[in-house]
């Protein structure tokens, strides 16, 4: 999930103050963990922070994505076809993990001196996607970092990272944006968005600009409205579930399906606040099922219509009366 470059400045003033204070100090720590839920702008922050780190006064600097002193490790394209999509600038699927070969290739490049200045940056996006052998290989670099080399590890789930890695890094936490900050981030990234889609994007994002922007780009405002109706009134005649397929389109791609699942999950989270004890059990069950679907969707070839029926059924189950529940 990519957040536009202007978004990380919104709502993340404290991480910037911390980073710039460290840069101004006499001895900056060599490894940082950028921790927080996915979609907050941590990777964009890492690129911008790395650009500030490696810049030398009086020397023209290329953009972070093509800078010779900024190395970024992220999961590679899933196969040759996906690699071609990446080369063509199209959306593409990636492998699940960052491999040990990628880490070792990065380490071989660190043997040489920085190209344009005295510092270089290594961005790991994301640290909790490293293979176990890749973690062990990276640990060697963190224990004995090459001179002038600084590591920025983007981490979505801090608890999934090995203590041996965490103990060698300073943790910089990123928190969800409040509603006003999120609205500013959405407006900056998607100007001219219609009011219904904008409101829905902010409502389902859970403070994540990346989630809000992804939702807005998928134009799921009508889907969001149907999800809320399913939770509120059920769907005894299957009419709402039938409407979902039309709202999603005949051949929604995987990104659109994932955005719809996340939208449904956040509708349940919002509904949880107002539910009674009995409904909260049903919400928890439906939420767990949606989390499983989200985990399966990147690799399973779901039939879009059946997927919408499944999601619609889970949301409708929340609204069932005790007499109607089975």
Q: How many domains does the chain have?
A: 2
Which pLDDT belongs to residue 5? 40
Mean pLDDT on 183-204: 85
Percentage of residues in the chain having pLDDT higher than 70: 94
Among 164-168, 241-245, 274-278, the range scoring the smallest mean pLDDT is: 274-278
pLDDT band at 227 (very low <50, low <70, confident <90, very high): very high
Mean pLDDT on 200-221: 84
Q: Report whether pLDDT(108) > 50.
A: yes
DSSP 162: -
119 belongs to a structural domain:
yes
The reply to whether 104 and 241 lie within a common domain is: no
- The helix (run of H) or strand (run of E) holding residue 120 is strand 120-125
Whether the bond into 126 is cis, omega within 30 of 0: yes
* Highest mean predicted confidence (pLDDT) among 7-11, 57-61, 191-195: 57-61
The reply to whether 18 and 156 lie within a common domain is: yes
Geometric angle at alpha carbon 169, from 138 and 176, rounded to 5°: 110
The reply to whether 234 and 290 lie within a common domain is: yes
Mean pLDDT on 24-42: 91
Q: Burial of 148 by CB count in 10 Å (0-12 exposed, 13-18 middle, 19+ buried)?
A: middle
Q: What SS3 class is residue 130?
A: strand
Residues spanned by the domain of 273: 220-319
Which pLDDT belongs to residue 75? 92
Among 8-17, 30-39, 205-214, 288-297, the range scoring the smallest mean pLDDT is: 8-17
Which pLDDT belongs to residue 320? 62
Q: What SS3 class is residue 149?
A: strand
The reply to whether 13 and 71 lie within a common domain is: yes
Which pLDDT belongs to residue 190? 84
- Alpha helix ranges (H) inside 190-276: 195-204, 209-218, 221-233, 239-248, 254-272
DSSP 321: -
Q: Report whether pLDDT(4) > 70.
A: no
Q: What is the DSSP string of 64-104?
A: GGG-TTEEEE-PPBSSHHHHHHHHTT----B-SSB-HHHHH
54, 116 in Cβ contact below 8 A? yes
The reply to whether 161 and 240 lie within a common domain is: no
Per residue, the 3-state secondary structure of 176-195, as one string, reads CCCHHHHHHHHHHHCCCCCH
The reply to whether 36 and 96 lie within a common domain is: yes
65 belongs to a structural domain:
yes
Give the residue from 151, 173, 195 where a domain finishes.
173
The chain-wide mean pLDDT, for the chain, equals 87
Give the C-alpha separation, 77 to 96, whole Å.
Answer: 9
Q: What is the pLDDT of residues 137-164, one digit of tens each?
A: 999 999 989 889 999 999 998 888 888 8
Which pLDDT belongs to residue 1? 38
- Identify the CATH number of the domain in which residue 161 sits: 3.40.50.300
Label residue 58 left, alpha or beta by phi (over 0 means left) and psi (-120 to 50 means alpha). left
The reply to whether 225 and 169 lie within a common domain is: no
Give the C-alpha separation, 80 to 25, whole Å.
Answer: 45
Mean pLDDT on 176-193: 87
Q: Report whether pLDDT(266) > 70.
A: yes
DSSP 63: -
Percentage of residues in the chain having pLDDT higher than 90: 42
Give the residue from 144, 173, 202 where a domain finishes.
173
Q: What is the pLDDT of residues 84-95, one digit of tens each?
A: 888 888 877 888
Which pLDDT belongs to residue 133? 93
Q: Report whether pLDDT(325) > 50.
A: no
Give the residue from 116, 140, 173 where a domain finishes.
173
Which pLDDT belongs to residue 200? 83
Which pLDDT belongs to residue 122? 97
Q: Report whether pLDDT(6) > 60.
A: no
**Sheet containing 170-173: which strands, arranged edge to edge?**
70-73, 120-125, 149-155, 31-35, 170-173
Mean pLDDT on 241-270: 87
């Amino acid at each position: 999930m990519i957040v536009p470059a202007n978004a990380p400045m919104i709502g993340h003033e404290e991480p910037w103050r911390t980073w710039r204070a460290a840069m101004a100090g006499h001895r900056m720590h060599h490894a940082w963990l950028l921790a927080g839920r996915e979609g907050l702008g941590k990777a964009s922050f890492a690129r911008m922070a790395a650009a500030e780190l490696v810049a030398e006064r009086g020397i023209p600097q290329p953009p972070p994505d093509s800078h010779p002193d900024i190395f970024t490790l992220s999961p590679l394209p899933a196969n040759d076809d996906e690699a071609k999509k990446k080369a063509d600038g199209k959306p593409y699927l990636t492998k699940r993990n960052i491999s040990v070969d990628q880490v070792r290739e990065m380490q071989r490049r660190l043997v040489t001196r920085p190209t344009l200045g005295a510092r270089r940056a290594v961005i790991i996006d994301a640290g909790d996607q490293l293979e176990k052998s890749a973690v062990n290989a990276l640990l060697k670099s963190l224990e004995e970092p090459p001179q002038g080399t600084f590591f920025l590890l983007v981490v979505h789930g801090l608890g999934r990272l090995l203590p041996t890695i965490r103990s060698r890094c300073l943790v910089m936490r990123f928190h969800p944006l409040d509603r006003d900050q999120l609205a500013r981030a959405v407006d900056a990234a998607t100007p001219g968005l219609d009011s219904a889609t904008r409101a829905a994007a902010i409502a389902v994002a859970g403070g994540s600009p990346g989630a809000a922007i992804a939702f807005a780009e998928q134009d799921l405002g009508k889907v969001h409205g149907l999800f809320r109706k399913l939770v509120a009134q059920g769907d005894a005649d299957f009419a709402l579930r039938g409407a979902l397929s039309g709202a999603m389109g005949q051949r929604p791609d995987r990104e659109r399906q994932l955005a719809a699942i996340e939208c449904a999950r956040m509708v349940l989270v919002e509904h949880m606040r107002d539910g009674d004890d009995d409904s909260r059990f049903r919400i928890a069950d439906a939420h767990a099922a949606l989390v499983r679907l989200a985990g399966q969707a990147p690799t399973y070839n779901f039939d879009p219509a059946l997927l919408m029926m499944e999601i619609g059924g889970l949301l409708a189950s929340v609204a069932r009366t005790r007499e109607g529940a089975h």
